[in-house]
Structure 1
Amino acid sequence: MTTITTSVPIQFSSTTTATLSLLEKCKSMPVLHQIHASVIKSGLTSHTFLMSKLISFCSNSRSPSDMNYALSIFNSIEEPNFFIFFTLIRAFADTPNSLQSILLYSKILSTLEEFHGLEFSIPSVLKACGRSCAFEEGRQVHGQIMKTDIQCDPFVSNSMLRMYFDLKDIRSARRLFDTMPHRDVYSWNSMVAGYLKAGEIGLASEMFREMPERDLVSWNSMIDGLVKHGKCELAREIFEMMKHKNVVSWTSMISGYMLNHRPKESLDLFRKMLTSGIEPDAAAIVSVLSAIADLGFVEEGKWIHSFVCRSKFLSIDSGVIGSALIDMYSKCGYIDNARDIFKSISHRRNIGDWNSMLSGLAIHGLGKEALEILRDMERMEIEPDDITFLAVLRACSHGGLVQEGEMCFKTMCGKKYKTVPKIQHYGCMIDLYGRAGQLEEALNILQEMPFEPDVLAWKALLSSCLKHGKIEQGRFAALRAIELAPKDSSSYILLSNIYAKTGRWEDVAKIRSLMKERGIKKVPGCSSILINGEIHEFLVGKEIDSDVIKKLEEMVFRLNLEGYKPDLDQVLVDVEEKHKESLLSFHSEKMALAFGLINVNRVLNFFERIFTYCLQKETSSR
């Protein structure tokens, strides 16, 4: 049986003092391994204080390998003290192996006759129970707490609240809250956050209204929880009600809009954040760069880039901002700018930066460059992850590099990397073969993959069938996709387009009728343009301003004079040729472009009038 010492006389010999001095200067695990070896060689393993320092250093990183090393040191100690136990219990509670905290707590309990002295470890043990879904163990710890005075400790009570919400036992959490003798703002916040996490929006809102006092955490928790459940309007109402907003408040709302695919609102709110005098943090910058990437407003992105460079608190090479800039420039079509960012952070690149660059090259179909970057990673001994291989496979697919894509897939599965392919990797291989017209190989992947194909896999095959005019294979893929996602309009549209491309208009009508019967509507094409800081959106089928129509007609007329011939095969409806040309003219992108040209001309005319006025005034003064 392990004996636990509560007080050990510490004797500092010259060797011990020297070892402790080395530990204070230690900065890495390899150095600690050397110090530990010296401790063993010097016969100092019985020095509990010294061993506890070794364990504390390992526990600071919380990494699985370091925690396993800490546990091996612990197992070599004959008489560990309370401090060593508490250090390990607290550290393991924050790791994926949180169950180890409960095992250590159980071990320490078996050596004691009374509970006294263990209260410092209780919050960590409760956290471990919640993270490990250890319901029975959590109830037992709760029972122990109720037999002692620490049940009145708000910190312990709040830890129990969090545990029950982690265990998804909302009723027990509410019963505990109602019986708590002392409820502070943290208790109320825990209830609000717990209800939101469980998706109980009504109960969270009710609890929020009943709070006797609210701090910033209360308001921010509500905003964060609501946007995560798609309640952006309700979150915005609470945001506007706040008298004092901090950077977390703004960032939660900005990120929330992006989480719900509303980049326009995200960008608008970011502008308001700047005018309010709040300095944005890295999370806000990343979210707004993502919004700009979705909208394609590269000039806004360039301004954010320069803002980051001027900022005292932000840096391109400080983690995720560099990756976000690479992603933004790539999606806006400025791959050279993305390359420049990637090169500028060469001394501090993380795996996210490499993956962002690879993804950008994939968007632009630059498969050979992506493969070269993968080789650079191998030369620099940077281990690729599953996202890396996914990006390279997409680059090969978009670049038509079938053999290279096959080799990449084999490499990731090989002895060197041993990366287990996910369904997304198989989807890339389906897309790779499909784009190249090798539909049999694509279908073989679908049939042989160790997963049930998802809707994206079938849609990848369906798109390839549309491209290569394979009716029966496309029909089969479409039916499977519709079966998996009956409310997704894209599968119906793709099948309809396959029929339309081969002139099977009766089948097109049947698909359209089926969509109407099931209440499925096609999402209209939408294009946006930024003019003087304001976003203007254009949707197909919406009423168009007369000035835009005139400019569109002018554009088409001038294009025709230059010999432009529209590709009428892209209009997959049964109408006359002239009407097809008209439909192509009123594409949302062309409408946005026409609006942009109108406003450019207005600006030029404005400056021309000013110039003429100044010239006339100067002439008259002479």
Structure 2
Amino acid sequence: MPYIIRLGIKLNLVVKTSLVDMYSKCHRMADALKVMKQTSESGVMLLTALITGYCQTGDYKEAIAVFQQMEIAKNLYFNSIHSRKAQRCLTYDVSVGNALVDLYAKWPSKSGSIMDFVRVFEEIASPNVVSWTTLIAGLVRHEYEVEAFAAFEAMQVDGVCPNSFTLSAILKGCESPKFVAHVEKLHAYILKAKLGAWDISVGNSLVDAYARFGRVGEAMSISREMPSRDVFTYTSLAKGLNQLGLHRKALDIIACMHDESVKIDGYCVACFLSASASLAVVEMGKQLHSYSVKSGLNSWISEVQEPNVVSWNGLISGLASNGQFCGALSAFEDMRLAGACPDGVTFLLVLHACSHGGLVDMGIEYFNAMSSNLYGVPRQPDHYVCLVDMLGRAGRLEEAACAIETMPFEPDALIYKTLLGACKVHRTLVLGERMATHAMESGSNGPAVYVLLAGIYDDAGKLDMGEQTRRMMKERTAIKCPGQSCIRNSLITTSLAF
């Protein structure tokens, strides 16, 4: 700006727009505003540059105020920016439209409606890949995942090819297990399109999606195919391994990160600390604590002044793991009073505390409250495993069987084996036989089912049936490994997730 003044160049609308655009892109909005006020000239491109700058710096109130000026300048009449009653008379060009879709997607109306940014998108003359990607990202952000997938398909029908940003945006919407088929389709599309030979953002999104679904094998395979990996790749893998109870493998990731010179951040340290706690590896925990302090991560990990959900989960997990079940539940109540929102991991820990503390009715109340308006936490298969384990320990086997029959997921072998273990403890033959049959039909040919069923037959005095079950186990080469637990306790293997 000073150079332009010294040269005596007149500040016309073109120069003014270029300066505002330059300052906005540099996030120097105060300077952009000074240039804006130098003359009274204005225009759509000038105001769009200013709106874009405010959006990029997160100052959405100012962006909306400028947009209102632009709408007034175009003689468009609105009751308010969130509630328009007059029909627009402008078809947005693609650059203006994209900026507005992004603006409305990040600043929704008070009603939570998605119609603002959808309507703006529909008024773009020729939507390009940026337009579609912004729309899809907005739908995912507001949890309209089904609509986001519909938009992804419509985009391709419209002849617009998704790019890496589009794919990363829609993969973020695949959080629920019901979208696993969509992830597989997107994976196939990415392979077919050979997207930048595994663009790191696309690769990370795929790794994270598969890891969330417990399919860590696929996640690790994808990570190996990527040309490079970063801290996000390894954090997703560590979380996925922790959730499956593979804590030793989660800690092995530290060496991989060291070999590739990938710096460990606060999220990774928390995952590794969780794995160390589950394995009771105190020395590793001390080393990680030391690393966090030396790296300036102590505000994340230790001496937490404003604990978040991860901090609370760590406290609840520590208390529950050491048998202080009432203390764990008390910590959960303190968490609620502090205003921290519990997540799925929190409830796994709470259900574990109730199960092992013999507080079954309280555990059922917490389970029922999960998906209520109070918490809004969707129940996952592991929560049902914990519920069945809790009811089974208390001898309420029919209630546990009813929970399996009414769960909104296809039961897997793990949940059947959990109830089968309870049937063994309480010597319940008929239900035990039924659970064993279901477990085998679910594809479980491991020794646990046969060993538990044979034990039930022995306890019922049916020794011949017990021997027959063991022979069947040997025929199917299902040999029990000494020292291994028959049933995985889903709660103990739970990690602190972000």
**Aligned 8 A contact 1:331 1:360 in 2:** yes
Stretch moving more, 566-575 or 371-380: 566-575
Q: Does 1:329 align with 2:210?
A: yes
Q: Which residue of 2 aligns with 1:410?
A: 290
Secondary structure of the residue that 2:92 maps to in structure 1?
A: coil
Q: Which residue of 1 aligns with 2:316?
A: 462
Q: Which residue of 2 aligns with 1:232?
A: 114
- Equivalences for residues 186-585 of structure 1 within 5 A: 202-203=80-81, 206=84, 209-217=87-95, 219-228=97-106, 229=108, 230-232=112-114, 235=117, 245-274=127-156, 277-292=159-174, 294-295=176-177, 298=180, 300-311=182-193, 314-346=195-227, 348-397=228-277, 400-414=280-294, 418-423=295-300, 426=301, 445=302, 448-449=303-304, 451-466=305-320, 468-485=322-339, 498=353, 502=357, 520=374, 525=379, 569-571=389-391, 577-585=397-405
Q: Distance in 2 between matches of 1:250 and 1:280?
A: 8
Letter in 1 for 2:336: I
Offset, 1:480: 1.9
Q: Which residue of 1 aligns with 2:38?
A: 144
Letter in 2 for 1:407: Q
Q: Distance in 1 between matches of 2:232 and 2:377?
A: 32
Q: Distance in 2 between matches of 1:226 and 1:283?
A: 19
Over alpha carbons, which structure has the higher Rg?
1
Offset, 1:164: 7.3
Q: Which residue of 1 aligns with 2:422?
A: none
**Aligned 8 A contact 1:247 1:281 in 2:** yes
Letter in 1 for 2:139: Y
Q: Which residue of 1 aligns with 2:455?
A: none
Secondary structure of the residue that 2:196 maps to in structure 1?
A: coil
Letter in 2 for 1:322: G
Q: Which residue of 2 aligns with 1:87?
A: none
Stretch moving more, 370-379 or 571-580: 571-580
CA 1:171–1:360 in 2, change beyond 3 Å: closer, same or farther? closer
Deviations 1:132-162 (A, max 9, x none): 6765x5664344334xxxx367655554566
**Aligned 8 A contact 1:282 1:321 in 2:** yes
Q: Distance in 2 between matches of 1:471 and 1:220?
A: 52
Offset, 1:481: 1.1
Q: Which residue of 2 aligns with 1:43?
A: none
Q: Distance in 2 between matches of 1:337 and 1:496?
A: 29
Q: Distance in 2 between matches of 1:266 and 1:402?
A: 45
Offset, 1:203: 0.7
Offset, 1:170: 6.6
Q: Distance in 2 between matches of 1:574 and 1:292?
A: 36
More RCO (CA 8 Å, sep 6+)? 2
Stretch moving more, 352-361 or 320-329: 352-361
Deviations 1:553-611 (A, max 9, x none): xxxxxxxxxxxx998651399995533443344333346999xxx9xx9xxxxxxxxxx
Q: Does 1:587 align with 2:464?
A: no
Offset, 1:333: 3.0
Q: Does 1:173 align with 2:66?
A: yes
Offset, 1:321: 1.6
Letter in 2 for 1:420: L
Offset, 1:309: 2.3
**Aligned 8 A contact 1:322 1:341 in 2:** yes
Q: Distance in 2 between matches of 1:161 and 1:386?
A: 34
Structure 1 stretches of 5 or more lacking a match?
A: 1-104, 193-200, 427-444, 528-538, 541-564, 602-622
Offset, 1:281: 1.9
CA 1:592–1:250 in 2, change beyond 3 Å: closer, same or farther? farther
Deviations 1:159-214 (A, max 9, x none): 4566678664479737864886xx69xxx9xx99xxxxxxxx94156399434332
Letter in 2 for 1:586: T
CA 1:284–1:592 in 2, change beyond 3 Å: closer, same or farther? farther
Instruction: State the Cα RMSD in Å.
Output: 5.2
Q: Distance in 2 between matches of 1:506 and 1:354?
A: 39
Q: Distance in 1 between matches of 2:71 and 2:182?
A: 51
Structure 2 stretches of 5 or more lacking a match?
A: 416-437, 442-498
TM-score by length of 1: 0.51
Offset, 1:404: 1.8
Q: Distance in 2 between matches of 1:402 and 1:276?
A: 57
CA 1:156–1:403 in 2, change beyond 3 Å: closer, same or farther? same
**Aligned 8 A contact 2:351 2:386 in 1:** no
Secondary structure of the residue that 1:212 maps to in structure 2?
A: coil
**Aligned 8 A contact 1:335 1:361 in 2:** yes
Task: Give identity over the alignment, percent.
Answer: 17
Letter in 1 for 2:307: P
Letter in 2 for 1:251: T
